[in-house]
Amino acid sequence: MDCYTANWNPLGDSAFYRKYELYSMDWDLKEELRDCLVAAAPYGGPIALLRNPWRKEKATSIRPVLEIYSASGLPLASLLWKSGPVVSLGWSAEEELLCVQEDGVVLVYGLHGDFRRHFSMGNEVLQNRVLDARIFHTEFGSGLAILTGAHRFTLSANVGDLKLRRMPEVPGLQSAPSCWTTLCQDRVAHILLAVGPDLYLLDHAACSAVTLPGLALGVSSFLQMAVSFTYRHLALFTDTGYIWMGTSSLKEKLCEFNCNIRAPPKQMVWCSRPRSKERAVVVAWERRLMVVGDAPESIQYKQLTIQVLLDRLVLRRLYPLAIQICEYLRLPEVQGVSRILAHWACYKVQQKDVSDEDVARAINQKLGDTPGVSYSDIAARAYGCGRTELAIKLLEYEPRSGEQVPLLLKMKRSKLALSKAIESGDTDLVFTVLLHLKNELNRGDFFMTLRNQPMALSLYRQFCKHQELETLKDLYNQDDNHQELGSFHIRASYAAEERIEGRVAALQTAADAFYKAKNEFAAKATEDQMRLLRLQRRLEDELGGHFVDLSLHDTVTTLILGGHSKRAEQLARDFRIPDKRLWWLKLTALADLEDWEELEKFSKSKKSPIGYLPFVEICMKQHNKYEAKKYASRVGPEQKVKALLLVGDVAQAADVAIEHRNEAELSLVLSHCTGATDGATADKIQRARAQAQKK
């Protein structure tokens, strides 16, 4: 039994620890670590080393080398540092290496030493130089805090979405704080700093002095502070060799410990085993390591999720391994294999020595139509690397044409984008592209493009009809669409123009257009309308009343109703109103006026082109049976029965029907026989029917 516990050492009363080597580092360091800037990524990520030649005592002109190793010391990248002096290194949560230069410029590198981008921490930092910098991780991403030579702090909570915040001044601060750290509370980043015996908390708005609950007396300075990975706990090391451990809200002390070492420690960090409830602070000096623990309390660290693990593998370009893991874990394709293949493809497009054709083919062979793979994303990456042609080739594999549109627009392939948008059937997308094209092309080219795309054209036309009438006209002009131009001006003649001259002018333009369209009918009708409009205007001037905008028919009717028969006749002749219409019109108007005398005169003026049944109908409509009967006698034989029935003469109707020997007429009369009064008539019809059948 002894052998199992032999290498366990007691830690306090109830805990034990042991020390053993997990693996040995494979690296072959040429420099002393103490002479280097070192940064290790969280979750056993890569380690970056930059020999620091800018330290005053070792000033040298040799350019330093930036080296990146895996956690086990495998070299991943090595490059000559050609930029300015670096103050601090750190890894973002996405495993990007941030190198903070003295001038506040931050250079960002990938895991393999590939340069990604750079950004600046602002003018104030540039002027006062960077004294110290910290990279910290929050749920929003990785942040960066800078302490400048003017002893002011500048902070960005997420370097992926750079928003710089200059923190308030600490009153009376003459020298750099003895130690500081970033805290993250209520989703906001703060800075805690120590100046002599005082502690200050900085947020965006204010600087406030804070105290530690239960802090031992006699502290005149804080030498180190450390915040736990979850930002829940805080530890401070004082010049009296005393360690305070508590919550980072500064409301509660968890424990304290006096180690009796007054030398400032090199490093102090919180540590814990995964899923362990025990936490401890490890303090390191040049030749001594101390672990300070406290009572168990329930906290749990988030584990590295499988997604993060896969991301890490992908970053290390271990694509086959990642795919094997996905398959082993039976992850859905969209979350697993597809995603990894897409990453691989994005890496592939960066291989500049391979031709566009080959890259596109290789990607398509591997990816095929795997669900969840977005060819447009890969194409966007290719475009980002300056490979437009490759991007276009890749886009061709994108099955959803709508997805191709944004990138095509970005690449200024607007016409292709238009076709793809139309293919997608998404009219909003088409409209978006149209607006792009409108700004990009001159008017002529824009119209020409529309002309070749009927769907886009009708969409744009609809828009113009409501919002840009002039453009609509230009569109028709461009197309020599005289028919539509004519219609356009017809509409303008009553919708846009108010004065008669303006309206007539619009009609003239319309008529000209119709002639050009070889639509003589419309042209003539338009010219008639011009004449009518002018005439209506004159009538209003001369007779008063309202004429403008009446139809021809209504104009004549209004004249008759107003007692201007002569004018009405003249108008009918001028506009060649057909006889039949004129008879209907006069008949109706005179009956409305109940001018029965005039109606009779009219009926006798010549043989009616519409017969006399309408006279009977209209008189009955005005409830004038007396007049109706006059006309019933003049109705021709074919409609006689109907006329007689209309005036209520059932008996005579029966006689006529019998005379005609017309079965349909007989039934019609019969259906009008009601009650006792028509009994005899009904019998008569039945007899006639019986007789007809005998024959």
Partner 1 sequence: MAFPHRPDAPELPDFSMLKRLARDQLIYLLEQLPGKKDLFIEADLMSPLDRIANVSILKQHEVDKLYKVESKPALSSNEQLCFLVRPRIKNMRYIASLVNADKMAGRTRKYKVIFCPQKFHACEMVLEEEGVYGDVSCDEWAFSLLPLDVDLLSMELPEFFRDYFLEGDQRWINTVAQALHLLSTLYGPFPNCYGIGRCTKMSYELWRRLEEEEDGETKGRRPEIGHIFLLDRDVDFVTALCSQVVYEGLVDDTFRIKCGSVDFGPEVTSSDRSLKVLLNAEDKVFNEIRNEHFSNVFGFLSQKARNLQAQYDRRRGMDIKQMKNFVSQELKGLKQEHRLLSVPLLEGFNIRESTSYIEEHIDRQVSPIESLRLMCLLSITENGLIPKDYRSLKTQYLQSYGPEHLLTFSNLRRAGLLTEQAPGDTLTAVESKVSKLVTDKAAGKITDAFSSLAKRSNFRAISKKLNLIPRVDGEYDLKVPRDMAYVFSGAYVPLSCRIIEQVLERRSWQGLDEVVRLLNCSELAFTDTTKEDKASSECLRLILVVFLGGCTFSEISALRFLGREKGYRFIFLTTAITNSARLMEAMSEVKA
Indicate whether 75 belongs to the interface with partner 1 (CB under 8 A).
no
Of 301 and 431, CB closest to partner 1? 431
Of 108 and 613, CB closest to partner 1? 613
The window from 207-215, 217-225, 294-302, 422-430 that contacts partner 1 (CB under 8 A) reads: 422-430
Indicate whether 461 belongs to the interface with partner 1 (CB under 8 A).
yes
Q: Contact with partner 1 (CB under 8 A): which of 534, 553, 660, 689?
A: 553
Of 452 and 462, CB closest to partner 1? 462
Indicate whether 490 belongs to the interface with partner 1 (CB under 8 A).
yes
Spell out, one character per residue from 117 to 136, where the chain touches partner 1: x when CB under 8 A holds, - when not: --------------------
Spell out, one character per residue from 670 to 689, where the chain touches partner 1: x when CB under 8 A holds, - when not: --------------------
If we measure between CA atoms, which residue out of 387, 385, 390, 388 comes closest to residue 364? 390
CB 114 within 8 A of CB 101: no
Identify the H or E element spanning 51. strand 47-51
The number of residues that bind partner 1 (CB under 8 A) is: 45
Indicate whether 528 belongs to the interface with partner 1 (CB under 8 A).
yes
Distance CA 17, CA 8 (A): 5
Least CB distance to partner 1 at residue 468 (A): 10
Q: Any alpha helices (H) in 441-549, and if so which ranges?
A: 443-451, 454-467, 469-478, 482-495, 500-516, 520-543
CB 101 within 8 A of CB 68: no
Q: Contact with partner 1 (CB under 8 A): which of 428, 480, 574, 683?
A: 428
Of 291 and 455, CB closest to partner 1? 455
Spell out, one character per residue from 590 to 629, where the chain touches partner 1: x when CB under 8 A holds, - when not: --------------------x-------------------
Q: What CA dihedral angle connects 669, 675, 679 and 681, to 10 degrees?
A: -20
Q: Contact with partner 1 (CB under 8 A): which of 314, 552, 568, 635?
A: 552
If we measure between CA atoms, which residue out of 221, 213, 216, 250 comes closest to residue 233? 250
CB 504 within 8 A of CB 530: yes
Least CB distance to partner 1 at residue 694 (A): 21
Distance CA 320, CA 415 (A): 40
Least CB distance to partner 1 at residue 402 (A): 9
CA atoms within 13 A on the CB side of 143: 23
Spell out, one character per residue from 462 to 481, where the chain touches partner 1: x when CB under 8 A holds, - when not: xx--xx--------------
Indicate whether 584 belongs to the interface with partner 1 (CB under 8 A).
yes
Indicate whether 540 belongs to the interface with partner 1 (CB under 8 A).
no
Report in angstroms the alpha-carbon separations of 63 from 53, 66, 333, 573, 647. Answer: 8, 10, 47, 105, 120
Least CB distance to partner 1 at residue 426 (A): 6
Indicate whether 525 belongs to the interface with partner 1 (CB under 8 A).
yes
Subset of 431-460 contacting partner 1 (CB under 8 A): 431-432, 435, 454-455, 458-459
Encoding tokens for residue 545?
A: 């009343």
Of 63 and 546, CB closest to partner 1? 546
Least CB distance to partner 1 at residue 329 (A): 20
Indicate whether 578 belongs to the interface with partner 1 (CB under 8 A).
yes
Spell out, one character per residue from 375 to 404, where the chain touches partner 1: x when CB under 8 A holds, - when not: -------------------------x----
Q: Contact with partner 1 (CB under 8 A): which of 204, 518, 580, 601?
A: 580
Sequence-separated (6 or more) residues with CB below 8 Å from residue 99: 50, 66, 83, 86, 88, 89, 106, 107, 108, 109
Indicate whether 534 belongs to the interface with partner 1 (CB under 8 A).
no
Q: What CA dihedral angle connects 69, 75, 77 and 83, to 10 degrees?
A: 60
- Residue 455 has a CB neighbour count (10 Å cut-off) of 15
Least CB distance to partner 1 at residue 455 (A): 6
Of 226 and 556, CB closest to partner 1? 556
Of 433 and 628, CB closest to partner 1? 433
Least CB distance to partner 1 at residue 466 (A): 4
Indicate whether 521 belongs to the interface with partner 1 (CB under 8 A).
yes
Please give the span between the terminal C-alpha atoms of the chain, in angstroms, as a whole number.
Answer: 135
Burial 374-388 (b: 16+ CB within 10 A, else e): ebbbbbbbbbeeebb
Least CB distance to partner 1 at residue 540 (A): 17
Of 286 and 369, CB closest to partner 1? 369
Of 30 and 466, CB closest to partner 1? 466
Least CB distance to partner 1 at residue 522 (A): 6
Of 400 and 410, CB closest to partner 1? 400
If we measure between CA atoms, which residue out of 124, 138, 83 comes closest to residue 106? 83
Q: What CA dihedral angle connects 32, 110, 102 and 89, to 10 degrees?
A: -40
Of 98 and 507, CB closest to partner 1? 507
Report in angstroms the alpha-carbon separations of 298 from 49, 277, 475. Answer: 36, 5, 73
Residue in the block written with tokens 């005149």: 220
Distance CA 496, CA 507 (A): 12
Least CB distance to partner 1 at residue 504 (A): 12
The window from 55-63, 355-363, 486-494, 592-600 that contacts partner 1 (CB under 8 A) reads: 486-494
Of 248 and 493, CB closest to partner 1? 493
Q: Contact with partner 1 (CB under 8 A): which of 154, 248, 526, 536?
A: 526
Q: Any alpha helices (H) in 296-355, and if so which ranges?
A: 306-315, 319-329, 337-348
If we measure between CA atoms, which residue out of 73, 67, 122, 76 comes closest to residue 100? 122
Angle at 551 between CA 550 and CA 556, to 5 degrees: 90
Spell out, one character per residue from 314 to 333, where the chain touches partner 1: x when CB under 8 A holds, - when not: --------------------
Least CB distance to partner 1 at residue 398 (A): 13
Please name the amino acid found at residue 165. Answer: R
DSSP string, 236-296: EEETTSEEEEEETTSS-EEEEEE----SPPSEEEEE--TT-S--EEEEE-SS-EEEEE---
Distance CA 682, CA 685 (A): 5
Of 415 and 438, CB closest to partner 1? 438
CB 440 within 8 A of CB 407: no
Q: Which residues bind partner 1 (CB under 8 A)?
A: 371, 400, 425-428, 431-432, 435, 454-455, 458-459, 461-463, 466-467, 483, 487, 490-491, 494-495, 521-522, 525-526, 528-529, 532, 549-553, 575, 577-578, 580-581, 584-585, 588, 610
